[in-house]
Amino acid sequence: MFDFQDLFQWDRFITPTIIKTFYWLVIALICLFGIAGIFSGLAAMAISPFGGFIQLLSSIASVVVGIIFSRIAAEFVLIVFRINEHLGAIRDQGTGH
């Protein structure tokens, strides 16, 4: 975890430790919007069955795509920080010779 002092020092990044929290927050928001879209699609079926069905399917597909893309974005952020750590290790190895 990170300390409160880490917010004011630039020796250590805090993003890798809190990215999982943001990922789960995004997943919760995607699911809430997906549920709202599903209910909206069900309500629209009373007016136009085909249009409501299309909205229902697009809401479900949007939830799946949103979860996949949020995972990809979170992994991309973590990969960037991991690359930074590995480059720092390579730099430290080079100065030891």
Number of H helices, E strands in the chain: 2, 0
Q: What pLDDT digit, counting tens, does each position of 37-95 carry? A: 999 999 999 999 999 999 999 999 999 999 999 999 999 999 998 998 888 888 888 87
Selection from 91, 88, 92 nearest residue 11 by Cα = 88
**pLDDT (0 to 100) of residue 41:** 95
Show Cβ contacts of residue 34 under 8 Å, excluding neighbours closer than 6 positions: 59, 60, 62, 63, 66
Which one-letter DSSP state was computed for residue 47?
T
Helix/strand/coil for 66: helix
pTM of the full structure: 0.76
